[in-house]
Structure 1
């Protein structure tokens, strides 16, 4: 029995299939020959290295004598171990221990003293077990040959699981901040998911400690276990990560809020999952939104692209009618799923289009599914379908205007297209003018007038404020090219209507001032997302527009307010705000080396601004700031109106005509050239 080579007993009978399909054939859903080391299909396409067979446990029949021999060998080995007088702990005394991190995969090496004892971790095969009435459905799928890898990931989830009360507080933070305008979670389903996850890990801990399951858990197992998937666990942790970001808590330099939960969610998100459902798409959206706040632009593109393509693959962008032959219960289930899918599709459409403004994205005309307010199936929640629909209409204009103004519109199907500077400038000016007119006629008047004299932070929600921040950003995208276009030496040759150009620039600067006022109001109302990418980006874009106007002779109080608030966000750990503020330092260095008599004050702090939390801050452009006192200069003016309503902008801001008239313009040619180069550089930064 002490021999080293032991003959394995041969089974008399094997239940199940004679062979399993390799992972490649299984994913492709084709018949596998089962040959080893590579099947015929993999050999035919010269991919023998990708032919891997999953390891599965099968039921077999062996002789009782063979089983007795195995038992005798185990007893013999145990007796040898006991006779040696050394346990598991003493056999490793003084040796270095390597502990693998299940998240990052890194290995840390530590040494143990002579008194250190370490027991081997107990791995519990839970692939087919139900714990506390909850069953893991796809965590140990056939394509995962390495059981320990998935098991370590499960243990990592267990170790990072926060207190349930804290988790629910983070959920409430996400819900109250974004769920009235974007369909990111269903509260009832998430609460049930949270209960299942905590039951699952309580059951896992009980098995690790050798404690029996409760009678209630055993009763649940006998009934029908509640299933939970790896995607759902990912969804749980990414919501925790996003919620912790929204707490606006300043942390250490190397510790970012929610990062541990986010890393877990990244590992749990299985991109190759064949089961694509609403939760899978919501996971991709939340992972992308969290990554945006880290300024990981490529990562955001990938996750949002996955969400958009997955939604299209499921047909959520197309209209689906409920068959008439369904029972009332089936019709109800289909109606609920259809409403949720509709909300989620338009959420994906808005978020993906706003992020991917300079790349290819889905067009509004590619869809025929109902709009958010059409044929609504009541789900009994507080979701604001009207706000989502207005965002949809705004987004379709974002996609349209960005293609017109920033796209390569000189290309046509004809090989004889015109490509000259003068022609391109005229075409650009025409597209800007038509976009501005289209936006006013078809979006502002029909959709925004409903918010007249309405507090944009009503009921504690910032959904209306977010809508106007996005709208102002679109106006800036339309306006920006004009700032450099009008300074071209040949501007008078292709600009036919100076009044329209003047009005468009005035509108852009006006809404930039309003954007800064909105973010200031969010700050004073404690509704600002301090670590958020979009709050800092909207603020920075508005600062650049107001800065350009200030260099040209029109300095507005919003400039110092915006700089102070951006500086505060950078100091609190906002990664995007830090990058933006560094760019302001670069601009200031350029200004100091130029002949322009303009000083950009970067020393102003948020504490230097007089703030009254009970005042609705909104200051329309009022010309040059009166030189009264420093305190007066930073004072917000109280006004209850919405930051922007449709109106003519020709005379909104005085002095815009100095851009066009050399007799009025105070800049010499050298300063004018510097001004143009500065505008071009700023425009490149904000792309």
Structure 2
């Protein structure tokens, strides 16, 4: 029953309703589910793990980061206790396949959320023996191809958190470039079907994969972007590599805003979901530090306001932060000339063509260098008062949580 009610809660949370409401979508079902859920039982079950994952997922939308983290952690430990991470050849193939799917789903959800909080990854790949490939087709519509791609991306995410964000490890430009090469190889080796369309009718799984891929590019390179903006990074050293890395970060930010825009156009934009807010906010922070694509900022701000007005807790919090950022940047940037300009498309050019070209450009190594590119990402400390500069840099470092761990 707890599993049933959390399914209803998430369903209501993701309904695209625009009328004013007196309570959070799905909260009544959620409260019923948590009252019925038994987390103290000594015997873990498949359905308990599924329920924990869904409860954690719903709580993301409530902006309850630590509570969601705790539920995902419980799900991982129950999975380990049941041996879902091990290949059990003695079991029927159907049961093995169900266990395989649940384990890798649990692994992906926990790894991605752990990375969002900047926490250590819980399970090492060397301790896992269950296959990532489908063992048997159950003919139930489950997309194992997408799951496998998400697993590969989660593994890369875990590696990045161990190098770029591990506090006991010194980060270098080579570490950043190595992570980018892994992400580029991942994108290059995706199955053809996942490289042919991003916006698919009534199916967000491919778009979600690319949103997550771009987000990982952003969190990988964002420390470099921030250090150049603040003036801590000497751009005379490794200038070509720095330029290429920052270009890719800015490109990923632009791509994610445009993917979200096109999802809104086709009615698949999630006003109450957590991740759409996170992808949007991370992208906007990168673009605020770069004047090369500032024309996307107003459109991105419109998307965040749409979610904020719908009652999305995270979007409301981000709207307050973005207004403060606007105020700080107005001290040295003329926003009057900025116009909202998201990528539009005609009948001759599909949004998928535009988005796929944009993704391809992120992972294409360009030999030429743009000596003027880094001029767009430079410290403005001399143009504002010390207090304004301190507030600006402190906010940019702390607001997107992974960036300061």
Instruction: Return the TM-score normalized by structure 2.
Output: 0.88
Q: Cα deviation per residue 1:554-612 (whole Å; 9 max; x = unaligned)?
A: 244322211111111111111111111110111122224x3x123289997xxx98978
1:469 aligns to 2:183 (yes or no): no
Does 539-548 or 356-365 show the bigger shift?
356-365
The verdict on how the C-alpha distance between 1:535 and 1:401 changes in structure 2, with shifts beyond 3 A counting, is same
Cα deviation, residue 308, structure 1: 0.9
Q: Given the alignment of the two structures, is residue 538 of structure 1 paired with residue 279 of structure 2, yes or no? A: yes
Deviation at 1:677, TM superposition (A): 6.1
1:521, distance to aligned residue in structure 2 (A)? 0.7
Contact 1:241–1:261 (CA under 8 A) maintained in structure 2: yes
Contact 2:198 2:356 in 1 (8 A): no
Shift in alpha-carbon separation, 1:270–1:498, aligned structure 2, 3 A: same
Alignment-derived partner of residue 165 in structure 2: 406
Q: Give the number of the structure whose alpha-carbon radius of gyration is greater.
A: 1
Q: How does 1:216-615 map to 2 (within 5 A)?
A: 233-250=1-18, 252=20, 254-322=22-90, 334-357=92-115, 358-360=118-120, 361-371=122-132, 373-374=133-134, 376-410=135-169, 424=170, 427-441=171-185, 443-447=186-190, 451-452=194-195, 454-486=196-228, 491-492=233-234, 496-550=237-291, 554-592=292-330, 594=331, 596-599=332-335
User: In the alignment, which residue of structure 2 is the partner of 1:328?
Assistant: none
Q: Distance in 1 between matches of 2:30 and 2:217?
A: 34
**1:496–1:253: structure 2 CA closer, same or farther, 3 Å change rule?**
same
Contact 2:296 2:342 in 1 (8 A): no
Flag structure 2 segments of 5+ consecutive residues without an equivalent: none
Considering only aligned residues, what root-mean-square deviation do their CA atoms show, in Å?
3.0
- Please give the per-residue CA displacement for 1:37-78, whole angstroms capped at 9, x wherever unaligned: xxxxxxxxxxxxxxxxxxxxxxxxxxxxxxxxxxxxxxxxxx
Secondary structure at the residue paired with 1:639? helix
State the Cα distance separating 1:489 from its structure 2 match. 5.8
Count of residues paired in the alignment: 394
- The answer to whether the Cα contact below 8 Å between 2:9 and 2:30 also exists between their aligned partners in 1 is yes
For 2:43 and 2:222, locate their aligned partners in 1 and report how far apart those are by CA, in whole Å: 44
Structure 1 alignment gaps of length 5 or more: 1-232, 323-330, 411-423, 619-637
> Aligned-pair distance for 1:649?
4.8
Query: Secondary structure of 1:299's partner?
Result: helix
- CA drift at 1:642: 5.2
Q: Which has the higher helix share?
A: 2
Structure 1 pair 362/251, CA: closer, same or farther in 2 (3 Å)?
Answer: farther
Q: CA contact under 8 A between 1:293 and 1:533: conserved in structure 2? A: yes
TM-score (norm 1): 0.53
| Distance in structure 1 (CA, Å) of the matches to 2:281 and 2:393 | 14
